[in-house]
Structure 1
Amino acid sequence: MIGVFVTFRYRDNFDERAVRKIADTARSKFEGMPGLRSKAFTLNPVKREATNFYVWESEDAAKAFFTDEVLARVTDLYGVRPSVEFVQIASLVENARR
């Protein structure tokens, strides 16, 4: 499994309500996405950051998703270009009930 941190760092123009609206609107686009195990939309108003964390079944699936076109689209959507960091997941605990 591969994790991906996509972090949007704002200066003075951080708008928590706008970021929450983006997350609410985008959520359905990721439900049932092939290769994507989970995604979390996070906020840190103190640091003026929004970080989306993805858990992918494979590195190939993760890298296939994060194209230049996708990064350009989310830059326009969030108003700031994100940093993207791929990490290996050593172990994952999931307690959600289905």
Structure 2
Amino acid sequence: MIGVLVTFTQTDKFDRSNLAKIAGELRGPFEGMAGLRFKSFMLGEDGVQARNFYVWDDEEKGRSFFTQELIDKVTGVYGAPPTIEYLDIVGFVDNSGA
């Protein structure tokens, strides 16, 4: 399993309602996506960072998803280029089925 943290940083605060709209509009393609366990759309407490967190069952799928084409596309959507961090998930708790 691999986690991927994608961070968009602006000098001005992101508009929370605009980020919620983006999350709603972009949710569909991720539902049922092969290899993707979950994805979250988040806003940092300071408001200047929007973050997306992914958990992939397969490292290769997780890494190959973030193409230059996708990076260019999300830069346009968020108005800032992302930084992408790949994280080795060594343990995982999932209470969603409880």
Q: TM-score, normalized by length of structure 1?
A: 0.93
Give the AA of the match of 1:56: W
Partner of 1:6 in structure 2? 6
Partner of 1:54 in structure 2? 54
Give the AA of the match of 2:27: R
Partner of 2:16 in structure 1? 16
1:37-52, aligned counterparts within 5 Å?
37-52=37-52
Percent of paired sites with the same residue? 45
Question: Quick check: 2:14–2:50 contact (8 Å CA) kept in 1?
Answer: no
How many residues are paired up?
98
Distance 2:96 2:39 in 1: 14
Which segments of 5 or more consecutive residues in structure 1 lack a partner in the other structure? Answer: none
Whether 2:40 is the aligned partner of 1:77: answer no
Distance 1:28 1:38 in 2: 12
Inter-CA distance 45–18: structure 2 relative to 1 (3 Å threshold): farther
Helix, strand or coil for the counterpart of 1:69?
helix
Partner of 2:90 in structure 1? 90
Which segments of 5 or more consecutive residues in structure 2 lack a partner in the other structure? Answer: none
Give the AA of the match of 1:83: T
Question: Quick check: 1:11–1:48 contact (8 Å CA) kept in 2?
Answer: yes
Q: TM-score, normalized by length of structure 2?
A: 0.93
Structure 1 residue 41: deviation in Å? Answer: 0.7
Question: Quick check: 2:4–2:85 contact (8 Å CA) kept in 1?
Answer: yes
Distance 1:19 1:5 in 2: 16
Question: Quick check: 2:5–2:52 contact (8 Å CA) kept in 1?
Answer: yes
